[in-house]
Structure 1
Amino acid sequence: MSNDRTAELLAAVRAVESGERSADSFFTEPAPPARRPRPADREAAPQRTAAPAPAGAAPGPGRGGPVTVPEELRALLVEGGAPETLGRPVTETLGEGAAGLLRDDPWQLLAVPGVRPEQADGFARALLGDEAGPGDPRRTVALVVHLLERAALRGDTVAEPAALAEGLARHSVPDPDDAVREAVDAGAVLAFEDTLDAGPATAGAARPETEEPDEETERPVRVLFGLDRYALAEESLADGLARLLTTFDPSAGPEEFAAAAPAAPSPSAGELIRAAAGSGLVTHAGGEAARAEVAALVTAARAAGLRAWALTHTDDGRERMARLTEAATTDPDDTPQAESAPDGEEQSGPDTPCATVADVLAGAAGPGRDAEGTLAVDLLAVCDAPQLDAEAAAALVESLPDGARLVLSGDPGVLGAAGPGQVFGDLVAARCCPHVVSRTPDPGPVGELVSGIGVGELNQVEAPAKEVVIVPVTDAREAVHRTVQLVADSVPRALGIPAEETQVITVGHGGSAGTRALNAALKERLNPGPGRFAGFDPGDRVAHSPAPGRTSVGTVASADETGLHLSCADRRITVPPDRVPETVRHGWAVTAHQAAGLRWNAAVVVLPGDATAALTRQWVYTAFGRAAHHLSVVHGAGDALPRAVAESPGRARVTRLRTLLTESTRAAAPAPDTPEAPTP
């Protein structure tokens, strides 16, 4: 984007944010702009997003429930050359008035998931004829929003001007700079200028003592563009985290909590307890073994009378945390320690204070809420924190009462959240709260291998009991054959780990050795059948994904006219027939993104030669780390594997949270004490 255009946008953003002028004084288009919400407006605004539905819940409108497609919309889609089957997703996305919206602005079709720009262009040409030009403001605004939505799918909450301009140019937009201006002017996109962390402001060369300094020296800034929902989520999250820091009173906590640190099961657990006893916000980094430190923290807090809970990303993680908490709550004589349940909670056993983030936000499990709607907790420890996106994290923090303690724990080396944002990484980088790094390594050869990958080294490890096995292959066909052989025969026979405790992990769904090809081969060997219900049979292993980033691996128990009945961890889930194609896949093989937060006794990681471009250190670290005891690597990637580990740590996401955290915590920090002026 040109310097003149950037300067013009900066001037517009400053004036609009200060309230001095409206955006239409800078831009000539007739539509009045939507004013960026001020802090007071945000406080009064309703919550941005509905809480995730609990696993097994019946779908509501827009989630697979009954949707009536108006006849007017059907006719319009046919007129525009679009398939009638698009009627339902269009109605779900644009509402009952979709026909009128599309008649006035055919490029609104681009807001429907799965619709590509060229398809929206064809639809617009069919309705508008020669009026549908590449520079039509309706088209350019829709494309800007589309590019930002695509960026969100990659994990970004905002985009830089150059990235937007490049994307718009690929779609033949005549003037990308004007397109971004039009989107900002129309209120479809928000513009931000964030001060770069450049250290103390300086005026450049030293001035003579007689020269007056500038009243205000500007720091360098960067201009970013984003969608309202993600902007509000990050700003709300930053404000909420600052609130926890400033409302926390360490002197009000029970002395028994901090006193439990010396008796902690490990030095790192003791350090974590001390940090949580003295701060309302703590970050904790470590691998799988470090989860025991979180269990020790929650146990110590509850023993001291605090209402403490541990949250995880998956049901599998919740079960593992429950076992760790039970072990931490058991005395040397294997007698559970007596605990009195905090008010308002049912105490059914030592595993009670464990739930998933999704269930807590949906109100399906967890500590419950008080009369003011906040969670009834004094300490909340969130494992798998790298899996928290900006919206889920904001909803969780907004639910915490003033003075509560929040501990975010996770492995910084794993793949990030499915949604936009890198909450854990930004919070650690902001250095606004105590950060505890676990000194407890993951055990065994698999733990040693994964630890090396985390620092960019693919080391050979001693594996006397075949804990790590490399299986070289020359092509994808051989990779599929050897994978089936490992799961069905070699691993059970040599190591005693049955096929149901072994998980295959591969790079993607497509390709000759992707999840589709591997699952077809594994089903034929492990559970052959005709696929009587939408391609599934009782006994099939499946991956159920009711929402992006939330995957449970289980088996098909049965099927009838009400849907597919699944057994996932300790849940029984019924998926309605019309939701099966969207949310259920065969699950003998999954991707590393789907496997995040899950763990199996054995894992078979498939690295086909045609997928080497997708390999990164984060991907390899996550995939290899899903194995608790045994890891087989079906290796056809050649030198691409060590190169990815050494040179491709993973793409950094474009977010604002780190800057917002710095600003929020600086603004919330108490002013330094100043001596009172002497009384005359």
Structure 2
Amino acid sequence: MAEFDANFMQGPMDDIGMVKLSGSIERVIYANDENGYAICDLGTDTDDLVTITGTLPYIGEGDLVTVWGKWVHNPKYGRQFKVEQAEKQLPADKASMLRYLGSGTIKGIGPKIAQRIIDAFGEEAFDIIENHPDWLAEINGITPKRARAISEEFKNKAGIRSAMLFFREYFGAVTTVRIYKKWGSSAVDVAKSNPYMLCEEIEGIGFERADRLAIKLGLALDSPDRLASGVKHLLTTNAHQNGHVCLPRERLVTGAAKLLGAPTEAVDEAISALIKEKKLCTVYTNEVHYIYDKQSFEDERYIARKLTLLDKVCDVMNTENIDAFIKREERESGIQYAKEQRRAIFAALESGVMLLTGGPGTGKTTVVRALLHIFDSMGLKVALAAPTGRAAKRLSESTSCEAKTIHRLLEYGGGETGGHAHFQRNETNLLDEHAIIVDEASMVDNALMAALLRAIKPGARLVIIGDADQLPSVGAGNVLCDLLASGKFATVRLDEIFRQAQQSLIVTNAHAINHGNMPRLDVKDNDFFFLPRASDAEIAETVAGLCSVRLPRTYGEMGTKGVQVIAPSRRGETGTEHLNVLLQSVLNPASEYKREYTFREIVFREGDRVMQIKNNYDLYWEREDGSWGNGVFNGDIGTILRIDRSDEKMQIEFDDRLADYDFNMLDELEPAYAVTVHKSQGSEYPIVVIPLGSAAEMLLSRNLFYTAVTRAQNMVILVGREDKVRTMVENNRQSMRYTGLCRWLSEVE
């Protein structure tokens, strides 16, 4: 790379406050077609050769570009220019046009053909190529077919430039690449005709961003497209944020009218139109109209139908045979099953669908072990599954049998032919297993339960296990509670705490909390501790001290790697956002030996613990043994191993899976030194620290407290005020979710 003089290194500054460079692309060193990231050599107006890096979609040698950005120093490659914004131009003089056409950027044109085109048409060459391909065919060496192909390729390049110019004001370059990949040269026309197609079809574009574009384009506030998109957006938002599968029509109308600033009558008409177009579904029950999106409607009805079918067609075992199996299992295991445990085993063997619920220490795992042994002795193939990787790992450890995530069981991926990832086990490719046991079912939402049921063959047994008193799933639905409430399936609730579990204050206090009683906070030598602190500042300081000094010093590796802070809220001095900054500063402070990258005011540093906060079904990962797959899911926790600023990537290890993240994907991650109770579901940690500060009263609920406490394997440490403990124990308010599963179950015969 050429040396730079001081004036050139500064570069001209323009009105957007960044360095501006112009020139032609001399060489494309690297280009990623998926996200547009590229590394190129740029020949500048001052004849210096500059290495530029950044999002430069569809860049080609010979392209004339103006780029805005800043100078950076790459430890390996030296000075580089990091592009924040780029703009392509077509060359205007014959020499530049010849160089552009001769660079190979237009398929079908090499240096010789380029020279003939320029000789024939001069500065009109580009107009001829685009609009008169038949004239182009008059040139020696260009057939009519080749001329048409060249013209289409040229128009395609023009479409890319047009899209980049049009969308850059509203979306980033990576999102623009996605838009162009979807609609090609028609992308701008699609956006102009209906901007809301963008939020329905393009990952990363929500209603608000599409709406800003629509309003800028002059679309009327009461246009049918806007009203329809706003209604669907509100349904989706309520599913993601509140877990609602459907909404009462009146509530949907009122909410959408407020969101859109439109009359309720117009919104109601838009809903009717969507129902008529079969894009929304409606159900009338108990004098209330409920509105569903189409997929949620189909999933919920399918769950009811398939569960009913499984329960009907299963072979019923003889009672005497079951009793013999249980007695033999008791002899071989040396365990005398309690009355309810025996009833659970009977129910699982007598029924196609069985629900098993109960709190910690009540023997659910003992029942699972017994069923595994009995199914095995019957020659039945069994699958163990759980919603998250951590829950599956814990299930494997407790049963000494392989357990998989539901996604892995259903073979989530792109398939042999590639393409968009999907569940490869489904109605046309059923699971082989004769019995499926699903643990931590309170975390399973409607969509995942429907996907699982689609893959289970008729005649197979399904055992659904979970703690109904924990928080419901993050996704839409309340499957476990709805199934229990329906009364349609064999159900056993285990409530006896066994002797070994009785010695644990975690277990006895969890049950006390669940029954509305205060936990014991005065015991000093067990596994449940309370550290009283008056102010939020003291609470945060104590949590930081526990995690950085006291626990590591006392418990070694378990006190370092086995600690998880679980907070009731995100906001405030004792919320996860503030605690993550504080804990990062003491557990993984900045160092010249650790690379870091700041994204939307969040500092990501090598060595940081991070959590995936949305499902990414397509993200590629691999293991050290060479196995690979797709999908990192909401709640997965990993560690940042490497940050590469030059490639704009970071590598994260999730248990034994390694995944690479482009910097533009970092909105899918957040720090995980402290996590909310919802995000902790399905996981267990050796030591759990729970700060109880000034969170909103609505967040301080009994089932939230119970869920947090039951995440701990060896120790719980409460830090805060005793009145907050009492508030949570006494607050039995549970947020209601709009679901229809009980109704569908009652209607299916």
Q: TM-score, normalised by structure 2?
A: 0.66
Q: Given the superposition, is the C-alpha separation of residues 176 and 644 from structure 1 closer, same or farther in structure 2, using an over 3 Å criterion?
A: farther
Other-structure match for 1:293: 367
SS in 2 for 1:106: coil
Residue in 2 aligned with 1:478? 538
1:81-160 → structure 2 map (5 Å cutoff): 82-85=170-173, 87-88=175-176, 91=179, 96=184, 98-108=187-197, 111=200, 120-128=210-218, 132-153=219-240, 154-160=242-248
Is 2:676 aligned against 1:568? no
Cα RMSD of the aligned pairs, angstroms, is 3.5
Checking the alignment, whether the CA contact within 8 Å between 2:700 and 2:731 is kept in structure 1 is no
Question: Is 2:652–2:661's contact at 8 Å kept on the other side of the alignment?
Answer: no
Aligned residues of 2:410 and 2:452 also touching (Cα < 8 A) = yes
Contact 1:256–1:304 (CA under 8 A) maintained in structure 2: no
Deviation per residue, 1:239-273 (Å, 9 max, x gap): 1111101221214x898655323445432432221
Match of 1:616 among 666, 677, 701: 701
1:21 match = none
SS at match of 1:171: helix
Structure 1 residues 302 and 502: CA distance shift in structure 2, 3 A: same
Letter of the structure 1 residue corresponding to residue 393 of structure 2: E
The match for 2:378 is: 304
Are the structure 2 counterparts of residues 160 and 372 from structure 1 closer, same or farther at C-alpha, using a change threshold of 3 Å? closer
Looking at structure 2, the residues matched to 141 and 93 of structure 1 have their Cα atoms a distance apart, in angstroms, of: 25
Equivalences for 1:503-514 in 2 at 5 Å? Answer: 503-514=564-575
Residues 72, 122 of structure 1: alpha-carbon distance in 2 compared, 3 angstrom cutoff = same
1:73/1:87 contact within 8 Å kept: no
State which of 677, 690, 714 in structure 2 corresponds to 1:605: 690
* Residue 310 (structure 2) pairs with residue 244 (structure 1): yes
Q: Which residue of 2 aligns with 1:171?
A: 259
Give the percent of matched residue pairs that are identical in Structure 1 and Structure 2: 22
| From 594, 615, 621, the counterpart of 1:547 | 615
Contact 1:62 1:92 in 2 (8 A): no
Partner Cα separation in structure 1 for residue 483 and residue 407 of structure 2: 21
Q: Which residue of 1 aligns with 2:407?
A: 358
| Separation in 2, partners of 1:88, 1:575 | 21
Matches within 5 A, 1:174-189: 174-186=262-274, 187=277, 189=279
> What amino acid sits opposite 1:423 in the alignment?
V
Q: Which residue of 1 aligns with 2:399?
A: 325
The answer to whether 1:454 aligns with 2:541 is no
**Structure 2 Cα separation of the partners of residues 648 and 109 of structure 1:** 42
Please list the CA deviations of residues 471-524 of structure 1 after superposition, one character each: whole Å capped at 9, or x if unmatched. 233443322211111122233445664221111112344443333322222222
1:29-428 matches, within 5 Å, as 70-77=160-167, 82-85=170-173, 87-88=175-176, 91=179, 96=184, 98-108=187-197, 111=200, 120-128=210-218, 132-153=219-240, 154-171=242-259, 173-186=261-274, 187=277, 189-195=279-285, 220-251=286-317, 259-262=324-327, 263-264=329-330, 265=335, 266-267=337-338, 268-289=340-361, 290-326=364-400, 351-352=401-402, 354-363=403-412, 373-428=429-484
DSSP 3-state at the match of 2:469: coil
Q: Taking structure 1 as reference, are residues 175 and 418 closer, same or farther at Cα in structure 2, changes over 3 Å only?
A: same
For residue 143 of structure 2, what is the aligned residue in structure 1?
none
Q: Assess if the C-alpha contact under 8 Å between 1:488 and 1:526 holds in 2.
A: yes
Deviation, structure 1 residue 450: 1.4
Aligned-partner Cα distance in 2 for 1:557–1:609: 35
In 2, Cα distance between equivalents of 1:260 and 1:462: 45
Change (3 A) 1:647 1:239: same
Alignment of 1:11-22 (within 5 A): none
Aligned residues, how many? 549
| Aligned-partner residue type, residue 306 of structure 2 | G
Q: 1:588 aligns with which of 653, 660, 673?
A: 673
Distance 1:473 1:92 in 2: 55
Q: Greater CA deviation, 68-77 or 409-418?
A: 68-77
Counterparts of 1:4-15 in structure 2, within 5 Å, are: none
Q: Distance in 1 between matches of 2:649 and 2:209?
A: 33
User: 1:414 is paired with a residue of what secondary structure?
Assistant: coil
Q: What is the CA–CA distance in structure 2 between the aligned matches of 1:437 and 1:62, rounded to whole Å?
A: 50
**Cα distance, 1:398 vs structure 2:** 0.9
The structure that is strand-richer by fraction is 2
Q: 1:492 to 1:75 in 2, by over 3 A?
A: closer
Which runs of no fewer than 5 residues in structure 2 stay unpaired?
Answer: 1-31, 39-54, 59-158, 416-423, 598-602, 617-632
Distance in 2 of aligned mates of 1:421 and 1:222: 19
Residue correspondence of structure 1 range 430-469 to structure 2 within 5 A: 430-441=486-497, 443=502, 444-460=504-520, 463-469=523-529
Q: Distance in 2 between matches of 1:85 and 1:74?
A: 7
1:510/1:516 contact within 8 Å kept? yes
Q: Which residue identity lines up with residue 407 of structure 1 in the other structure?
A: V
CA deviations on 1:287-333 (whole Å, 9 max, x unpaired) are 3432332232223211321111211122222222222213xxxxxxx
Query: What is the CA distance between 1:363 and its match in structure 2?
Result: 5.0
* C-alpha distance after superposition, 1:557-598 (max 9, x if no partner): 4455595444433x1322233465134333221111221111
Cα pair distance change 1:429/1:371, threshold 3 Å: closer
Larger relative contact order (Cα-Cα within 8 Å, sequence gap ≥ 6): 1
What does residue 559 of structure 2 align with? 498
In the TM superposition, what is the alpha-carbon distance from 1:171 to its structure 2 partner?
A: 2.8
In the aligned structure 2, how far is the partner of 1:427 from the partner of 1:63?
A: 47
Partner Cα separation in structure 1 for residue 373 and residue 544 of structure 2: 42
CA contact (8 A) 1:238 1:661 kept: yes
The runs of 5 or more residues in structure 1 that have no matched partner are: 1-58, 196-219, 327-350, 668-680
Q: Residue type of the partner of 1:373? A: N
Query: Using a 3 Å threshold, how does the CA distance of structure 1 residues 563 and 107 change in structure 2: closer, same or farther?
Result: closer
Secondary structure of the residue aligned to 1:260 is helix
> Cα distance 1:60–1:90, how it changes in 2: closer, same or farther (>3 A)?
closer
Distance 1:269 1:101 in 2: 60
CA contact (8 A) 1:90 1:98 kept: no
TM-score (norm 1): 0.73
Q: 1:242 to 1:472 in 2, by over 3 A?
A: same
